[in-house]
A and B are shown apart, each in its own frame.
Chain A
Amino acid sequence: MTIATPAHPAQTTAESAPAARETPRRQRRPHSTFRRIGRATVPYWLIAPFFVIFTAFGLFPMLYTAWISLTDRDMLRPDAAKFIGLGNYTDLFSDEFFWNAVGNTFLLMAMSSVPQLAFALILAHILNTRLRARTLFRMGVLLPNITSIVAVTIVFSQIFGRQFGLISWLLDTVGLDPINWQAGEWTSKTAIASMVIWRWTGYNALIYLGAMQAIPKEHFEAAAMDGASTWRQLWHITLPALRPTIAFTALISVIGQIQLFTEPLLFDNSPGSVSGGNSHQFQTLALLLYEESFRLHNFGYGSAIAWVMFLVTMALAAGAYFVTRGTSRLTGGSR
């Protein structure tokens, strides 16, 4: 993290000024005191916008949400809010819709993250060979990622449509009954997971490809001379070298999945519904948060959901950190 920057003139001035030594620089001091102080604060002014924006629109809302979660607050009558301690949390933990959403969120997380990252690794391995039209293939796999999640969900909902959907027609041509994808517990989750997998596999493949190209070529050359096939090379050289990258993408993907919102919101085919299907079969935590807060106006309850999601995310991030640190120590990795 630390960069060895040669001392700048400004820095030298600032640091050596207290040392009472007669230098030419010191003689200039009376004229430039104001400018020097001004210059010393310049770095802080340059980084200030980030901290101002983050404090105002990131940190403060997070903390204020914690306070709201301890009150019984209605969106439309904020003045009537009253402090109820952990009441929202005890309600939450006995709320079947909450546990349903927890289950759905983690199931969808597993169903989309695992195949997504596995496909991405294989895809990256193929892209990492000598290829014609390399840029074209790379653009092809990244294409899904640049489309908006709203667009993805709309077109996938059409493709998964019960009556006129492409998939129902394909099933019909091979003699199977059409499936009402939205209605089923597993079919709806399969459809949603397929949207996530479709949009993110290529993106992760390119991240892996970047990391693969940073592996010293000598490792592969030695293995090739020993007669290792490329798939064996993938297993024995690429995967261990990519472990930090894989942990990073897994963490990013998991954090993204905890907040899965747009897909379950728009996959619902009853107009205006935000409950994730008729029997909440694909309602995620983020969707429950949205329904409770902005449809039912229970800001206190919604804030409690937000804080539970926040704590779960932090726990997963900490877990991932310790897991990668542990494994890299075991394998003697650098980080």
Chain B
Amino acid sequence: MTGSTRGSTRRSTRGSGESSGPLRYPLLFAVVIISAFPVYWTFMIPSRTNDVVGQLPPPFLPGGHFFANAARVFDTVNFGKALMNSVIVAGSITLSTLLFCSLAGFAFAKLNFRGRNALLLVVVSTMMVPVQLGIISLYIEMQELGWGNRLISVVLPTAVTAFGVVFMRQSVIQAVPDELLEAGRIDGCGTLRLYWHVALPALRPAMAVLGLLTFMQAWNDFMWPLIVLNAENPTVQVALSTLASGHYRDNTLVLAGTALGTIPVLVIFALFGRQIIGGIMEGAVKG
């Protein structure tokens, strides 16, 4: 974030940017409208009745039927359970990712141990391996472990990710000065206490970013939950796909469910959008 602020101040003294023309605001507005329109549509359609939605031209302004259609979603599929399952799954994945990735990131960034660079290389290269392609075996494995159709089978495979480890390692390098750790050592802190009392407080902003990205990704994950969970014990995305494939003509119902499932990530984005954007832009510099 600091980098971008600094850059823009310098840029403003230069005063260029204007030369890219008066077109840039209309262009940006057009892009933002194209970006926002389908999201608007997701909320507008279910605020109408199917009769009105089925007319041409379609309605463009919201009506007053959103709650009636939302209630139909809960009658049609087990949406309450789906919401709860998604909260449990995304929450557990986020917490375990934050804990294990920050511990591993701390170790890779600040501790010297035999084989560190080789092991880090292994972590980085696993990011390129499309492990999703192992789903058939993963399905068999989860059945064998007795976890078929249980939420733990969705949580465990992404409980700690290579991306998170690499991200936290970079964050530790940037946010935790060696001098602070050495001072802690001299005061007699062990490695774990250094992590807890010195590194963690400095890592809070980075952990917020990783936590937000992880939560949204886990909330939106679809293919693996679809395979391992059944329709009686779904996540939100699985329930939505059931809704969409069974009632594809009932647009107000299907989009009401879609809107409900999108609200949590929209709220997170509205509250923490700035941090999420900062995380993605920094990722570019780090990567």
Contacts and interface: CB of A to CB of B under 8 A. Distances in A.
Interface in B55-69: 55-58
Interface stretch (A20-28, A52-60, A88-96, A184-192): A52-60
Interface stretch (A101-109, A110-118, A150-158, A326-334): A150-158
A100 interface: no
A166 B11 contact: no
Contact of A148 (B108, B178, B222): B222
A153 B241 CA distance: 10
Q: Is the interface of B mostly helix, strand, loop or mixed?
A: helix
A210 interface: yes
Contacts of B53: 164
A150 B240 contact: yes
Contacts of B258: 150-151, 154-155
Contacts of A33: none
B117 to A, nearest CB: 6
B180 interface: no
Interface stretch (B2-10, B71-79, B202-210): B2-10
Task: Sort chain B's interface into a size bin.
Answer: 35 or more
Interface string B251-287: 1001100100110011011000110110011111101
A309 B55 CA distance: 44
Task: Sort chain A's interface into a size bin.
Answer: 35 or more
B45 interface: yes
Given A40-B113, A169-B56, A154 B254 contact: yes
A139 B157 contact: no
A16 interface: no
A59 B54 CA distance: 49
A137 B107 CA distance: 38
Contact of B32 (A2, A137, A261): A137
A102 to B, nearest CB: 15
Given A130-B8, A130-B18, A258 B284 contact: no
Contacts of B196: none
Interface string A130-155: 11001101111111101111111111
Contacts of B129: 58, 62, 314
13 contacts: A3-B109, A8-B181, A49-B159, A50-B161, A146-B268, A146-B276, A150-B241, A150-B244, A151-B262, A207-B287, A248-B287, A302-B136, A306-B135
